[in-house]
């Protein structure tokens, strides 16, 4: 993704943050938008990458990944992942995530809120499918965190050909 794609990502990010506000309360700015203070980093840091997701040649969503999560020893992390509603339940998310993992074979991490049912179905199943070896799952529950969440850690091997 280039800086020319940034306005597209900004609009998609608003849709994602709106959807996510169902699971985690988020306040709007006085200008009527959701704030995402780390967006610039995905265009300026070598440790962060942004991707647009397409399906059948149509824009379908985005993914933000990073390898600078403290304590993760350089593992790649799925920071944000969004597929627009019209492209859900068609394999778009699974296909896009698999392609994303193949860009950086090695250790990956990601976290999801357990009451986000679509995420709670997708990520563990997908991690098991792409992982070489076991998928480590760490759960945190209230009162340690505001809502129950799981964090997965797994190793992806490079696919031949």
Q: What's the confidence (pLDDT) of residue 161? A: 61
At residue 45, the pLDDT reads 96
Q: What is the CA radius of gyration of the chain?
A: 16
User: What is the Cα–Cα distance from 36 to 33, expressed in whole angstroms?
Assistant: 9
Directed axis angle between helix 117-130 and helix 92-103, to 10°? 50
**In the chain, which stretches have pLDDT less than 50?**
none
Round to whole Å and give the CA distance between 34 and 28: 5
pTM of the model: 0.93
Give the tens place of pLDDT for each residue, 83-115: 999 999 999 999 999 999 999 999 999 999 999
């Amino acid at each position: 993704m280039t800086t020319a794609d940034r306005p597209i990502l900004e609009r998609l990010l608003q849709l994602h943050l709106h959807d996510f506000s169902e699971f985690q309360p988020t306040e709007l700015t006085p200008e009527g938008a959701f704030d995402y203070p780390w967006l610039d980093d995905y265009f300026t840091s070598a440790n962060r990458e942004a991707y647009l997701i397409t399906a059948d040649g149509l824009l379908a969503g985005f993914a933000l990944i990073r390898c600078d999560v403290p304590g993760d020893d350089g593992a790649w992390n799925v920071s944000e992942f969004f597929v627009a509603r019209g492209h859900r339940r068609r394999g778009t998310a699974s296909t896009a995530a698999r392609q994303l993992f193949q860009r950086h074979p090695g250790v990956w991490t990601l976290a999801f809120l357990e009451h986000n049912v679509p995420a709670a179905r997708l990520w563990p199943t997908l991690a098991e499918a792409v992982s070489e070896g076991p998928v480590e799952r760490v759960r945190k529950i209230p009162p340690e965190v505001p809502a129950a969440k799981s964090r997965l850690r797994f190793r992806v091997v490079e696919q031949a050909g």
